[in-house]
Structure 1
Amino acid sequence: MKLLGEGARLIDAITGRALEGTELTGEIAREADALAALPPGAVFLRAGLDLPSVLRYLGAFSSGRAVALLDSALGAETLTRLLDRFRPAALLCAPGEEPPFGYVVKDDHWVRTDDDTAAPVHPDLAVLLFTSGSTGTPRLVRLSRTAMLSNARAIADALCLGPDDVAPTSLPLHYSYGLSVLNSHLIRGATVVVEPSGLLGRGFWDAVDEYGCTSLAAVPHHYELLRGLNFEPARYPRLRTLTQAGGKLRAELITEFTRKMHGVGGRLYVMYGQTEASPRMSTMPAERLAEKPDSVGPALPGGKFSIRHNDGSETTHPKITGEVVYRGPNVMMGYAEHGAQLALGDEAGGVLSTGDLGYLDEEGFLFVAGRLNRMGSVFGNRMSLDDLEQAVRATGLGIDVVAAVPADDKVVLFAEGAAKGVCKLASNALADRLHLHSSGFDVRPIASIPLLTSGKIDYQQLTEQV
């Protein structure tokens, strides 16, 4: 099955250019032909939120050329390390600097000069996405064409997408959630408006209004921003669907945005996923959200959740907490840390150990309690960092944006925009609630919480500040 459904359309909000029908397929074919002229191997693409990046991705997908989508903000030094590890055929949209050894500049690309160092690619491999930000040595997630298409169809079904839907590019293409918005709309013959400025840009909201966008995808931090901007969906007559993924959304925000959307006859969908699942695993039906605001819903059609005990056994019995395990056709082939692993076949077998803690209810709806590795220790007592963040928000001190990281035998919590006196009150509140000394909860003021380009909190950067 093709990724491009009948009637699919791309609109460049900067130029106003619209591509559909034979003009769109012709542009994609031209990109595919250009890729065919490159040396063998995968291609790496510095993907911006622009029409050329979207067309290059679609050209690679349609022609069966494996493509890695990279953050366009990555610098030459980081890119050189990646090229040394994976030896791709080319880096598309390369920075305007001298390429590393073994590559030459052609047009705006770095192209490999020999075939001897080419990393063979498995024929099923379609897309490569990194598991984390640009720091350290993150792994590539190997996603097959089948996994990408099956997940795009499942998301489109869960959200009831059709040819009349219009979605703006509110998230980066190299972020799996942003890529899934593009894929799930195009596969249903819908329209995607390519606009680069993001939710805080005036141009973004002008495009939402001008092109009659019907849906908006955002991560929890974006919903905090929208609340601060006094977002009212009634200002945008066609905007009737909000979706959320990329972390747990506060219950207060779920209630608030559900109410806002219901007020205009719209809906809010809370979703759960990981890059390793291409990326969605569940969608909470909008009509059930008020009933189960803490749930991320049942598994998508074709998928299944179970809960793994400490002894390795699995169960689907309700109310038993353990590691969430997902099975489905959208699970990755495996990881790659160097070029030789790009030739490997399916190593996961359709099974994904998510690393998340959670439980199922009687209907099979999943409730996620946090990450297994998001734990800290306070005077020897293990605690969920996610729970501590929520506890600070619940103090009533006006701290809405907070990020917790472990530090020896205490936890440091960075409170965005909070005064020192408020931070002290928050530390005391945690101590009273958990019956431990306040020195174990180091609440610190910070002007702004650092974010990855996906909108998620950059916990690695905060850890380095401790």
Structure 2
Amino acid sequence: MTFPHPQARLVVAGEPESLGGDDLAGHVTRTAEALTRLRPGPLFCGMRNNLTSVLRYLAAWRSGRPIALLDPDLSAGALTELVARFRPVALLGFTHAADGSPPPRRESPAPHPDLAVLLATSGSTGNPKLVRLSRQAVLANATAIATALSIEPGEIAPTSLPLHYSYGLSVLNSHLVAGATVMLTEAGLLERSFWTHLDAHACTSLAAVPYQYEMLRRLRFDRSQHPALTTLTQAGGRLRPDLVTQFAGQADRFFVMYGQTEATARIAVLPPDRLTGKPGSVGQAVPGGRLAIDDGEVLYHGPNVMMGYAETAADLARGDDLGGVLRTGDLGRLDSDGFLYITGRLKRIAKIFGVRVNLDDVERLLRGSGPVAATSGDDRVTVWAEGLDAAGCVGLARRLGAELRVHWSGFDVRGIERLPLLATGKIDYRALESRT
């Protein structure tokens, strides 16, 4: 399979000409030639939503060199720690490091020949493992997504999510494999220029995570102002049912999806015509995949499952550890038609006075109270609520105690101006936990 497809095109926001066909192939070839001057080994790329980053990614793919796509704004300390563990041959595109080869050279086993892409399991905090993705996994998932979403050459998608995030990367990959077009923009959904360029380039689809849909609701998003925009997709966590209804009503096609970085991107898709009949479901397995439930945990079988994790450079030489089977760590159920419903996380459990409390349940109970997040503490649950005063915090704690039949003093409710977010738009639970 040719990747990118010969018809695939890239267009930089605000520029009149797109890059595709022989021109795109030529740019990739020249970038790949520059990479051949580096010694063998993995690359670290600060993956921005721009043409330079995408060309580096495609050049590494062309030359068979594994590339780690990372947050370009990683702190100097976090980047130094990752370099020490994984020994990349070059750092490219990072805010806190000059482009070039990092010192000093240390011998490491050659990466496995099937290894193509490395993605971090967390944001800029903590001590992330890298997810090892094979060429087969990347292509299998890109093709499955293109099929499930009926992506055709005429489609145009903006980079509305970071390309170092598996959901954002999957938008790029699925469009390139289908011969469609991707508009590259570093502007966010809250910036006027994003929408100006979305309309100017007649983008047909938009991918977003729940927090972004919350923001679009506050901004009173009106699809009628964007006539070319026909398709909306959602992944990255559970979207409130009322928002699913609202945005499904503003699109010709609204896809709810479920996925994990460990499965390259997406695991299940709920087609628009099943939204009403399967409320709360994240859909059926993507083409080529299969879902199962083992003791309450969601298992996924498919060619897009990662080779395994990597914690050091030595792990990059390992082959496939999982054999196409992923234990997701999510709790869920399958209905008689094979539609998946996610009910929580295995590790999102806390104890209050000896009583088990699911933190996802806590957040669901409070969805109507505005943006909230729940973290576990010492025999209590800390709830972070945007814009709440002291009286509101006490009221929320008492409500939780009544709903969950646990004394309300087991809930430490704190007002916060803004919940901290990762670059992916998901809540940064590590940052919140560091405040307790």
Task: Please indicate the TM-score interval, normalised by the length of the shorter structure.
Answer: over 0.9
Shift of 1:63: 1.8
Larger mean Cα displacement after TM superposition, 429-438 or 206-215: 429-438
Tell me the SS of whatever aligns to 1:260: coil
Q: 1:4-50: CA deviations, max 9, x gaps?
A: 11311111115445211111111111111111111110111011111
Name the structure 2 match of 1:142.
132
Name the structure 2 match of 1:288.
274
Q: Is residue 90–residue 112 contact of structure 1 (8 Å, CA) maintained in 2?
A: no
Shift of 1:110: 2.9
Tell me the SS of whatever aligns to 1:326: strand
Q: 1:168-214: CA deviations, max 9, x gaps?
A: 00111110000000000011111100010111111111111110111
Percent sequence identity over aligned pairs: 53
Tell me the SS of whatever aligns to 2:151: coil
Q: Does 1:308 align with 2:294?
A: yes
Larger mean Cα displacement after TM superposition, 130-139 or 419-428: 419-428
Listed as ranges, the matches of 1:202-221 within 5 Å are 202-221=192-211
Q: Is residue 144–residue 332 contact of structure 1 (8 Å, CA) maintained in 2?
A: yes
Name the structure 1 match of 2:299.
325
Name the structure 1 match of 2:406.
436
Tell me the SS of whatever aligns to 2:285: coil
Name the structure 1 match of 2:242.
252
Q: 1:316-343: CA deviations, max 9, x gaps?
A: xxxxxx0000000000001100001101
Name the structure 2 match of 1:380.
354
Q: Distance in 2 between matches of 1:187 and 1:420?
A: 52
Q: Number of paired residues?
A: 436
Q: Distance in 1 between matches of 2:264 and 2:107?
A: 29
Shift of 1:415: 0.7
Choose from 325, 329, 341 the match for 2:315.
341
Q: Distance in 2 between matches of 1:285 and 1:112?
A: 49
Q: Does 1:155 align with 2:145?
A: yes
Q: Is residue 12–residue 183 contact of structure 2 (8 Å, CA) maintained in 1?
A: yes
Name the structure 1 match of 2:383.
413
Name the structure 2 match of 1:102.
none
Q: Is residue 215–residue 242 contact of structure 1 (8 Å, CA) maintained in 2?
A: yes
Q: Distance in 1 between matches of 2:236 and 2:398?
A: 30
Q: Which amino acid aligns with 1:110?
A: S
Q: Is residue 291–residue 301 contact of structure 2 (8 Å, CA) maintained in 1?
A: yes
Shift of 1:260: 2.3
- TM-score, structure 1 as length reference: 0.91
Q: Does 1:23 align with 2:13?
A: no
Structure 2 stretches lacking a partner, 5+ long: none
Tell me the SS of whatever aligns to 1:38: coil
Q: Distance in 1 between matches of 2:349 and 2:17?
A: 48
Q: Distance in 2 between matches of 1:359 and 1:213?
A: 36
Q: Is residue 28–residue 59 contact of structure 1 (8 Å, CA) maintained in 2?
A: yes
Listed as ranges, the matches of 1:9-408 within 5 Å are 9-95=9-95, 108-111=99-102, 114=105, 116-261=106-251, 266-309=252-295, 322-394=296-368, 399-408=369-378
Q: Distance in 2 between matches of 1:126 and 1:430?
A: 46
Q: Is residue 75–residue 96 contact of structure 2 (8 Å, CA) maintained in 1?
A: no
Structure 1 stretches lacking a partner, 5+ long: 98-104, 310-321
Q: Distance in 2 between matches of 1:418 and 1:271?
A: 31
Name the structure 2 match of 1:458.
428
Tell me the SS of whatever aligns to 2:249: helix
Tell me the SS of whatever aligns to 1:186: helix
Q: Distance in 2 between matches of 1:267 and 1:400?
A: 27
Larger mean Cα displacement after TM superposition, 332-341 or 198-207: 198-207
Q: 1:277-302: CA deviations, max 9, x gaps?
A: 01111100111011112100111111
Q: Is residue 123–residue 422 contact of structure 2 (8 Å, CA) maintained in 1?
A: yes
Q: Which amino acid aligns with 2:411?
A: F
Q: Distance in 1 between matches of 2:231 and 2:388?
A: 33
Q: Is residue 289–residue 303 contact of structure 2 (8 Å, CA) maintained in 1?
A: yes
Q: Distance in 2 between matches of 1:120 and 1:48?
A: 27
Q: 1:145-173: CA deviations, max 9, x gaps?
A: 00000100000001000011000001111
Q: Distance in 1 between matches of 2:405 and 2:169?
A: 45
Q: Is residue 94–residue 109 contact of structure 1 (8 Å, CA) maintained in 2?
A: no
Q: CA RMSD in A?
A: 1.4
Q: Distance in 1 between matches of 2:118 and 2:22?
A: 28
Q: Is residue 122–residue 342 contact of structure 1 (8 Å, CA) maintained in 2?
A: yes
Q: 1:302 to 1:96 in 2, by over 3 A?
A: closer
Q: Is residue 94–residue 110 contact of structure 1 (8 Å, CA) maintained in 2?
A: no
Q: Which amino acid aligns with 1:81?
A: E
Q: Distance in 1 between matches of 2:21 and 2:177?
A: 14
Tell me the SS of whatever aligns to 1:465: coil
Tell me the SS of whatever aligns to 1:436: coil
Q: Distance in 1 between matches of 2:224 and 2:70?
A: 36
Q: 1:14 to 1:112 in 2, by over 3 A?
A: farther
